[in-house]
Amino acid sequence: MPFIPHTAEDTAAMLARIGVADIERLFDEIPSGLRVNEFDCIGKGLTEAEISRLMHERASADKQPLCFLGAGAYDHYVPAAVWDIATRGEFYSAYTPYQAEASQGTLQVIYEFQSMVTSLTGLDVANASLYDGASAFAEACLMAVRANRKSESRRILVPRTMHPTYRAVAQTILAGQSLELVELPMRDGRTALSALQALATEEFAAVAVQQPNFFGALEPVDELTDWAHGHGGMLIAVANPIALAVLKPPGKWGADGADIACGEGQPLGIPLSAGGPYFGYMASKESIIRQMPGRIVGRTVDLDGNPGFTLTLQAREQHIRRSRATSNICTNQGLMVTAATIYMSLLGADGLRQAALACHANTRALVEGLTELPGITRAFDAPYFHEAVLRLDRPAPELLGALAAQGILGGYDLSADYPELEPALLVCATEARSGGDIQRYLQAAADLLFESGRATG
Amino acid sequence: MPFIPHTAEDTAAMLARIGVADIERLFDEIPSGLRVNEFDCIGKGLTEAEISRLMHERASADKQPLCFLGAGAYDHYVPAAVWDIATRGEFYSAYTPYQAEASQGTLQVIYEFQSMVTSLTGLDVANASLYDGASAFAEACLMAVRANRKSESRRILVPRTMHPTYRAVAQTILAGQSLELVELPMRDGRTALSALQALATEEFAAVAVQQPNFFGALEPVDELTDWAHGHGGMLIAVANPIALAVLKPPGKWGADGADIACGEGQPLGIPLSAGGPYFGYMASKESIIRQMPGRIVGRTVDLDGNPGFTLTLQAREQHIRRSRATSNICTNQGLMVTAATIYMSLLGADGLRQAALACHANTRALVEGLTELPGITRAFDAPYFHEAVLRLDRPAPELLGALAAQGILGGYDLSADYPELEPALLVCATEARSGGDIQRYLQAAADLLFESGRATG
Amino acid sequence: MTMTEPIIFEYRGSRRQPFTPLSEVPANLPEDALRQDQLLMPQVSELQVVRHYTRLSQLNYSIDTNFYPLGSCTMKYNPRICNRLAMLPGFLARHPLAPEEQGQGFMQCLFELQQMLQQVTGMAEVSLTPMAGAQGELAGVAMIRAYHLSRGDGDRRQIIVPDAAHGTNPATATMCGCEVVEVATRPDGDLDLDALRTILGPKTAGIMLTNPSTLGVFERQIEAIAAAVHDVGGLLYYDGANLNAILGKILPVDMGFDVVHVNLHKTFSTPHGGGGPGSGAVGVGERLRPYLPVPIVERRDGAYVWADESDRPQTIGRLSTYMGNAGVLLRAYVYLRMLGDEGMQRVADFATLNANYLMTCLAEADFELAFPERRASHEFIVTLKKVTRDTGVKAMDFAKALLDRGMHAPTTYFPLMVPECLLIEPTETESKQVLDAFVASLVELRELAYSDPQQLTTAPHSTPVRRLDDVRAAKHPDLAWRGAPKPTSK
Amino acid sequence: MTMTEPIIFEYRGSRRQPFTPLSEVPANLPEDALRQDQLLMPQVSELQVVRHYTRLSQLNYSIDTNFYPLGSCTMKYNPRICNRLAMLPGFLARHPLAPEEQGQGFMQCLFELQQMLQQVTGMAEVSLTPMAGAQGELAGVAMIRAYHLSRGDGDRRQIIVPDAAHGTNPATATMCGCEVVEVATRPDGDLDLDALRTILGPKTAGIMLTNPSTLGVFERQIEAIAAAVHDVGGLLYYDGANLNAILGKILPVDMGFDVVHVNLHKTFSTPHGGGGPGSGAVGVGERLRPYLPVPIVERRDGAYVWADESDRPQTIGRLSTYMGNAGVLLRAYVYLRMLGDEGMQRVADFATLNANYLMTCLAEADFELAFPERRASHEFIVTLKKVTRDTGVKAMDFAKALLDRGMHAPTTYFPLMVPECLLIEPTETESKQVLDAFVASLVELRELAYSDPQQLTTAPHSTPVRRLDDVRAAKHPDLAWRGAPKPTSK
Ligand SMILES: Cc1ncc(COP(=O)(O)O)c(C=O)c1O
Ligand SMILES: Cc1ncc(COP(=O)(O)O)c(C=O)c1O
């Protein structure tokens, strides 16, 4: 019996002790009319060998193209030690650390993680993770509305340059509590500072900004932060953590720094894995920590005065505060945080910085190579980090299809999300791409463009 | 610097403490004329990402055909838990358990392993492993010569049905100590009992027998054991441990049982992995344990009277007895033994028995299917376990090549080792082969045979 | 065996190995966008990292090392093969925005999982996108709201929850802009149906229930409750956290539920990972189907494709950046395929057997049950109120003392209305031997409570740290390492 | 945290899950060939297995958890990536008898490894087949014998080893049918060259040396020794166990060696695995080349193929069933490629730096060095004979007491002729912090030896078991579980 250890004798002895004839009797409080008669859902169970074979077939049916696609999820190299350790049974199969004394491993990892996140963001405090980047952004909006003592407004100004799905997810999650997302327009791939003044007439709770933004471009974060603060709003930073190894941390933006920073943790050692599990990180100024959603670990002392770690500030959470909790989040993304903590430890400040700079250099090499080809130009002039938008002389799927035929995942087609840019392509080359990889992309693109150039010209 | 933790300050402080100007000075006892001037051996070191990519390319260049090849190494299904646990750092990166108090994990595993081996072999005692099946056989020959008090002979009678490489390796290892291996002839794929009498005229130290033998056939082990004992010789059993789940254990062979059993441990949860690392197991009667090579773990008590485990009977070993040790073996195959112990625990008696019977059934299905094809017959009538010899109407490479073209590893060509059987093929279908796999083999073989039948007929 | 471990930042004087392929390059980025300060990160070698986190891992209790009867959490064995197969390179390397045709193997697994979860709940359709139970709840309540709104019934904002409900239920209702109304439980563990009837009305959006409930008993009046709620126009939400107890035995749809979420990390044994990731797939009946969150896998012309907002215009929308916790879904898929239909029912059988056996043994050992006349579902509640009254030793002390015996504690002080309670869920993967040892430990601890209470009130004694000062933690939050170890008050 | 664990057989009353695809089938095998008795194996669930062995693992010290300065063993960090890459499915699934053309990726790695080891030793050719150092020695001495025999010089049967030699050296000589002649070491740690000269003669087959020697010093007269041995017609065998100390600094060929084995599990960081697997690749100069054990990878017409007995008629033959410990070789290959030339030399640099630093610190703390006037190689010897004389506390007691401080003990009582010795090898992957802590511990323990010797003589105190009774273990061997737990004498 899969995963059930009972012998027939065990079962018999247990039933006898309970005083029932068979297991079926234990379900006798269920109205019999409701009981399932025939349960036909998946068929016969497979052995481990059989499912193993099936999944190997499925996984190897899936292509593993050379990835030049980012758009919020990035193909970084993950050192072997990260997941070797994160999947150790003691991390993998533990519950949320409710019994602190039996969970010091997980708790200390989270404390270290929080430390690293505050360091990356330049903010005071961080939590133990949220689900992912998009939902973390939604939680940040809610937090800002709760935390902003200067304004009763439920409006959040959100740039059009922010990841489209982040905005969509925030919409879904915030609809219930009637938050309103107001779009900040863009110019040259960045938030249009010139458009701000028109929006200041109505009150707002916060301004959000993504750095680098969805297009990979660097936003005028100092100006946006100061402007938000100047108008009684908070500033929510959404930032790529790898980029923060070289970019100014949100806590240092403008005169007073962002109030809340959040974002997608995937770049920190989490494989692409088809979309998840990833994790969202969140940090903030200390003054508003009691509005923070999610779990937080603190260092304290034990009965003997020795240092130890425990979940803390739980009065914010659903299991204590229930309907008045800061969020309904309970299970978060602990294992991913463990992996990310190991990843950051392995890389250290230098390694993170090198990874970031290598991403930047590779993307530049790719963009410079591509824009030398006929029919490809940069869509924006703004400085970019490790992604950039290219304007094409033809629909993006044409180029992407030709690349796919050569095993290359060529980028993200922006036409659906940004019809005004069409045809345009968002490309990314992380540190995991070699010079040869980039050449392969350039060659494949050149072949297509010259070929069709010949055909049409 | 790969894997070296020193900061520049550390290095400087350490050199200052030692009182030398640089590390180079620490090598000043090496005659300077001998020092390497330019060291050009492998070139520049690769990063983890680079070597990872290289090895992925190499590994995926290697084909993974459907395996119907045995001949001493078997493609069994290995449950995921086996290597997940065996590669835990605490097992993986520990040394031989010389400090017992800090190595109870490894020591208890070995004790459990020894227990399982005695159970499989029906013998009293077992050691902690030898290198592999072939070298274990060589050690068994040496042990028999040492242990046989009745005879001074250095001759060992070894059947022609024993794995050819086992015989070759024994030859290499035993040559130095002038042991002589005398071949026992075969009939119908088994050791010819009728030929024994002729050999009894000269003294011998032991008779060896492999069960099942190299051809997968079952040997007359009871008769051989009794005959050996009747002539003052010991009996060395070489046995497949998976087969021992259903076959009579060596300790029960004949009237008194085999004296020594050994063999290849690979079938017990060790991947094929191109030939190693595997491990050799060895068990014997208790009376001759002081002639056993290799490490042995015993259960004892600690200062408080609590049970614990330790290496024992070390006076047999090279680090104590030096030139008079039972063997020179030191490092053995500990990690493989850990995996095998977990494997046997996961399967239990039922699982091992089921695996064995499934191998047998699959091989029967394959053999029966193949012998229905024109030009393929069984070479021998003897009952077989999970391998069998097929006689072909054409050179084996012809069939093997056709199968290889379809991604099938069709068996072992016996022509080099047993020219007298040519053309003949040794096939094996373990429990990891499905009915569909066997059909694929049969179909591919049929296509070839009928096709060439048409061509020639 | 190492019981404490410095903070990783405290390993000073060491340097990481460089590992990215490119060496430092000029930044070519605007100066004012760059970090000016030094990023504070550990500076350690790979060995130091491996050693540090390996040691830390050893400080945890986990399913792989300890019995873990944490009620409501379904801490069962997480098969290693599920992890192995979910981490196959083909799955790990897939970019979430890569074209569907490049990931048909992955998509097929998800499609089949959707179907399995449909059948196991009896629902019409399932979306896998919610990333934990609480997000499944949010999706569910949002769909209930969307349904009422679509019918011009937007005033229905009341969500009814039992007083025993898990905290995520009321918190979710609030997040969806609803008002929470609590309904009481009767002493026999069933809902107070009369009280419920007085609450129900035109403002009723719906009710959130788990069944078996968080009290460890099966709500016997479920049909009457469903009828009452439906009668006033409300909908029923099924919190699937306790599905393990009834897997394949009774379907939520047959109890009258309109929407359900399933905690894959509980019932389908994906790992809890020290606090996630989870997955809270939602299933709905026909009425709520248009509102399901996207994306959803559909099969069109023999290919698996994502259905999104354009295919599902009435959807409540998206809940995650891509498609949810894919890796968790793959683990659940592998687990389900290994169980098969029979295996699923067996899970419920033996989870229930273990709980009832443990409950019987404890009752016979004179422990006080919260609902002595009831069957246990896959969990049950012991109340220590008499022991506490007699000795001052509290449920928390028992919990801590169990840690000394190598067992994780049951859930304590939840549900809130049972005083000094232990909510005990052994799960089906534990053997009789383990359960017997647990009973023996509790008996021994109760004896100690009377003979030497201090042993319990100062427990644990053998864990890496002794009992921690939670009050200090909250009063003087120390939430991040700030560059130098702080002196501790000995 | 769990300090003891029952024997797996003692988990009774549990049943494994069936897992093989086929159900029981009729045996169709002759009755008298079948097992009649019940096979005694653990009958446990997968969770019980995982929990049991996970707990057991936690009882081990290992590189991944503890400093492990075990002299002569080179316990350095085993990079996780080496394991990961060696276990890629393409490598694991390969059958050793599969045609070479199906495994060119694997074969190329081996071919390149042969070349690297050639260069690192300066030898003419390398065979990778020996499965550990001792088997490499056997191959080497067998080749020396084959060489003499081929020249009609079969009376050369004497193998000379220093008194400090590792036990495998003399044991190997015996296995090869040779006679062992010991030669003494001088007080300064170098070999007694005069004594050697008196031994050398027409019976000399060869000499086995490690350099740096097992005494932790570099043999300075190596050129003179080589000349003397060669002069009488003997050959020089290099035991490569200490190669880590001189990697890329000096080649065995330049010291005059004719044959060498390399312990890949030491110098090239493949894991020791709690006692193997290892790999003892052998390299030889031109004279011994024909005798190398097979198989060897050769490159022919752009393809990698196995050379076997038919290609190498003078080979000493085969040493393993297939080709040796392939997986270990792949790990070493990955490690070497990551090091590169510079990295290799850096290994020697920092292994030597760490050893000399530790030696200096201990000398300054008044520990007595066995060879105070010498440089340390990558290891060195402390003798505690004065402490033992003063206090009765022995090297073994220090070793056990170190375990209580979370550090593995150095090698004790080897080499045999240094009384109460600790052979200490820190390796290059340990940080200054760790070395300083080790010094502090030894200093503290010596103080205790004088103030409270019993603390040491009864150590360890905090390990899973206290000091074990080895005498009892050998006198009353309990080597296998026999069906029921035996009572222990409390
Ligand atoms: C009854 C109940 N409902 C809901 C949840 C919330 O699920 P999650 O933690 O996955 O968000 C839990 C989890 O503990 C639970 O026990
Ligand atoms: C000096 C020396 N020579 C030889 C050996 C034997 O090597 P192996 O254990 O790999 O057989 C060792 C191992 O400890 C050693 O230290």
Find the ligand nearest to B131 CA: 2
How is the beta sheet containing D380-383 ordered, strand by strand?
A: D380-383, D421-424, D411-412
What integer best gives the mean pLDDT of chain B?
95
ipTM rounded to 2 decimals:
0.97
Best mutation target among A48, A51, A359 (most B Cβ atoms within 10 Å) is A48
C-alpha–C-alpha distance, residues A56 and B308, integer Å:
42
Whether D49 sits inside 8 A of B108 (CB atoms) is no
Range scoring the smallest mean pLDDT among A99-113, C52-66, D476-490:
D476-490
pLDDT greater at residue D12 or residue D86: D86
Contact partners for chain C, using 3 or more CB pairs closer than 8 A, are: A, B, D
Residues of chain B neighbouring A49 (CB-CB closer than 8 A): 77, 431-432
Pick the closest to residue A97 from A327, A290, A309 (CA basis). Answer: A309
pLDDT of residue A201: 87
Residues C332 and C377 in one domain: no
Chain B residues in contact with A434 by the CB 8 A cut-off are: 53
D309 Cβ neighbours under 8 A, 6+ residues apart = B168, D294, D315, D317, D318
Yes or no: say if D228 and D206 are a contact pair by the CB < 8 Å rule. no
Say whether both D119 and D215 belong to one domain.
yes
Q: Is residue D485 part of a domain?
A: no
Measured between beta carbons, the chain D residues lying within 8 angstroms of A343 are none
Q: Where in chain B is CATH 3.90.1150.10?
A: 66-75+348-456
Domain end, chosen from C280, C309, C339, is at: C339
Give me the pLDDT at residue B452, please: 73
Q: Tell whether A52 is within 8 A of chain B (Cβ).
A: yes
pLDDT at C342: 93
CATH 3.90.1150.10, domain B66-75+348-456, yes or no: yes
Query: Which H/E stretch holds residue D177?
Result: none
Residue C448 and residue C319 in one domain: no
Q: How many domains does chain C have?
A: 2
- Report the pLDDT averaged over residues A83-111: 98
Residue D332 shares a structural domain with residue D439: no
Residue where a domain stops, chosen among D339, D367, D382: D339
Check whether residue C225 and residue C348 sit in a common domain.
no
Nearest CA distance, D186 vs chain C (angstrom): 38
Surface of D (331-390) touching B: CB under 8 A: 334, 336-347, 349-350, 352-354, 356-357, 360-361, 374-376
Beta bridge partners of A309: A299
Q: Tell whether the model's pLDDT for residue C484 goes beyond 50.
A: yes
Closest C-alpha to ligand 1, atom 10: C133
- Atom of ligand 1 lying closest to residue C266 CA: 10
Mean pLDDT lowest among A216-220, A452-456, C308-312, C473-477: A452-456
Q: Does A1 touch chain B (CB under 8 A)?
A: no
C170 in reach of chain B (CB within 8 A) = no
* pLDDT on residue A425: 98
pLDDT, average across residues C203-209: 98
Interface contact D17, partner A, CB < 8 A:
yes
Q: What confidence category does residue A435 fall into, taking pLDDT thresholds of 50, 70 and 90?
A: very high
What whole-number distance in Å separates Cα of residue C21 and Cα of residue A79?
Answer: 13
- Asked whether the beta carbons of residue D432 and residue B248 sit closer than 8 angstroms, the reply is no
The pLDDT assigned to B290 comes to: 95
Residue-level pLDDT at D341: 95
Q: What is the CATH number of the domain that holds D431?
A: 3.90.1150.10
- Residue C490: the pLDDT is 38
Task: Inspect the interface and report whether the beta carbons of C344 and A87 lie closer than 8 Å.
Answer: no
Q: Is residue C403 part of a domain?
A: yes
Residue type, D87: M
Burial class (CB in 10 A: 0-12, 13-18, 19+), C260: buried
Do D349 and D220 have their domain in common?
no
Here the tokens at position D12 are 């009774």
With a cut of 50, say whether residue B72 has pLDDT above it. yes
What pLDDT, in 10s, does the model give residues A311-364? 999 988 898 888 889 999 999 999 999 999 999 999 999 999 999 999 999 999
**A38: pLDDT confidence band, cut at 50, 70 and 90?**
confident
D13 has pLDDT over 70? no
Residue C157 predicted with pLDDT over 70: yes
Residue C62 lies in a domain: no
Average pLDDT estimate for D261-285: 97
Tell me if C16 is assigned to some domain: no
Classify residue C396: in a domain, yes or no.
yes
Give Cα separations from D277 to C406, D62, D280 (angstroms).
34, 15, 10
Three-state secondary structure readout of C405-436: CCECCCEECCCCCCCCEEEECCCCCCCHHHHH
Identify the pLDDT of residue D296. 98
Do C268 and C365 lie in a common domain?
no
Model confidence band, residue C26 (pLDDT cutoffs 50, 70, 90): low
Does residue C140 have its Cβ closer than 6 Å to ligand 1?
Answer: no
Tell whether D221 and D325 lie within a shared domain: yes
Per-residue pLDDT tens over the stretch C120-132: 999 999 999 999 9
Classify residue C327: in a domain, yes or no.
yes
Q: Is residue C465 part of a domain?
A: yes
- Residue type at C432 in one-letter notation: K
Considering the domain architecture, whether residues C309 and C355 belong to the same structural domain is answered as: no
Lowest mean pLDDT among A443-452, B358-367, D255-264: A443-452
> Nearest residue on chain D to C11, judged by CA atoms?
D433
pLDDT at position A315 is 87
Report pLDDT digits (tens) over D416-458: 999 999 999 999 999 999 999 999 999 999 999 999 999 999 9
Position B22, amino acid: D
Alpha carbon distance B399, B449 (integer Å):
8
Decide if B49 and A80 are in contact by the 8 Å CB cutoff: no
Residues D331 and D348 in one domain: no
Q: Which protein residue's CA is at the shortest distance from atom 16 of ligand 1?
A: C72
Domain shared by D332 and D371, yes or no: no
Q: Whole-structure pTM over 0.95, yes or no?
A: yes
Per-residue pLDDT reduced to its tens digit, B201-237: 899 999 999 999 999 999 999 999 999 999 999 999 9
Residue C136 included in any domain: yes
Q: Among D310, D339, D368, which residue terminates a domain? A: D339
| Ligand 2 atom with least separation from CA of D72 | 16
DSSP string, C259-286: EEEEEHHHHT----TTT----EEEEE-G
Give the number of the ligand closest to the Cα of residue D415: 2
Are C269 and C333 within one domain? yes
For B351, phi then psi, to 5°, come to -65, -40
Domain with CATH 3.40.640.10 in chain B: 80-345
Measure the CA dihedral A380/A381/A385/A390, to 10°: 40
Single out the residue of D258, D129, D267 nearest to residue D204, CA to CA.
Answer: D258
- Does residue D275 carry a pLDDT above 50? yes
The pLDDT assigned to A452 comes to: 73
- Upstream peptide bond of D415 is cis (omega within 30 degrees of 0): yes
Shortest distance, CA A142 to any CA of chain D (angstroms): 42
d(CA C428, CA C75): 9
Residue D1 pLDDT > 50, yes or no? no
Q: For residue D459, what are the domain limits?
A: 344-475
How does DSSP assign B373-419, residue by residue? STTEEES--S-BSSEEEEEESS-HHHHHHHHHHTTEE--EE-TTT-G
B74-131 pLDDT per residue, tens: 999 999 999 999 999 999 999 999 999 999 999 999 999 999 999 999 999 999 999 9
| Domain formed by A80-345, architecture | 3-Layer(aba) Sandwich (3.40)
pLDDT, tens only, D19-54:
444 445 555 788 899 999 999 999 999 999 999 999
